[in-house]
Amino acid sequence: MAKRFACQICRKLPMKPVCAEDGFFYHEECIRRKFEEVDKNGVVISPANRLPMGRGLIPAITIRSLIEKIVAEGKVEKKWSGDSDDHVVINEDDEFLIEEAEDGDPKSMTILGRWCLFGEKLGVEHNVKKGYKLIEEAAKLGNNHALGYKGFCLIHGLGVEIDRDDGHEDLVIAANKGASEYSTS
Ligand SMILES: [Zn+2]
């Protein structure tokens, strides 16, 4: 429920959400920073659906009261980060996983990498470059799922320059390894 209202950039729950022209919710400062990344005449690409979008923002008042209700009911863990009013949903298992990833555990790095790549985890920044780095490192450490994701990233240019040949190579190796892992012979 709360996930739908999370800022599409930092994945935290904005207490004063704005609705952008792509129809998604953001912290005003997050989306304005995104606008500043492109020059005045440049086309802004929606961080949520990857389509060109205008720069209009409106306060999402109805959503704001819904978010206040979710927070008041304790459905999200309160986590005050510095002087911001962000609410983050991170449970203890997820925190443990993030620590393990930082300690270099390939499996945890692969999961954290996926969260960063696809912005699918509340409280974990949607950051494709960081995601790719984690995946690449985990693949180097021999994680086969990571190798598959790395191939996907290379083919689609997600967090890395497009390199279809290398991407396909990774996917083929990952698929072959996966097949032998499940082999009963
Ligand atoms: Zn944000």
What domains appear along the chain, each with residue ranges and CATH number?
Answer: 2-72 (3.30.40.10), 92-182 (1.25.40.10)
Ligand 1: distance of its center to the CA of 29 in Å?
7
Quote the CA–CA distance of 137 and 163 in Å, as a whole number.
17
CA distances from 5 to 1, 16, 53, 60, 77 (A): 8, 11, 19, 10, 15
CA distances from 68 to 24, 125, 171 (A): 18, 22, 44
Ligand 1: distance of its center to the CA of 57 in Å?
14
Ligand 1: distance of its center to the CA of 157 in Å?
23
CA distances from 39 to 20, 26, 42, 121 (A): 18, 20, 5, 30
Ligand 1: distance of its center to the CA of 20 in Å?
12
What does the pLDDT look like over 92-138, one tens digit per residue? 677 778 889 989 999 999 999 998 998 877 677 889 999 999 999 99
Confidence (pLDDT) at 106:
95
Confidence (pLDDT) at 164:
95
The pLDDT tens digits along the chain (185 residues) read: 566 788 888 878 888 899 999 999 999 999 999 998 886 778 899 999 989 999 999 999 888 888 888 777 766 655 543 345 555 555 667 777 888 998 999 999 999 999 899 887 767 788 999 999 999 999 999 999 999 999 999 999 999 999 999 999 999 999 888 756 554 44
Ligand 1: distance of its center to the CA of 138 in Å?
27
Ligand 1: distance of its center to the CA of 86 in Å?
8
Ligand 1: distance of its center to the CA of 69 in Å?
19
Ligand 1: distance of its center to the CA of 43 in Å?
20
Query: At a CB cut-off of 8 Å and minimum separation 6, what does 125 contact?
Result: 9, 10, 11, 116
Token pair recorded at residue 74: 């304790």
Amino acid identity of residue 121, one-letter, is: K
> 136 near 117, Cβ under 8 Å?
no
Query: At a CB cut-off of 8 Å and minimum separation 6, what does 140 contact?
Result: none
Q: Give ion ligand 1 contacts, CB < 5 A.
A: 7, 9-10, 27, 30
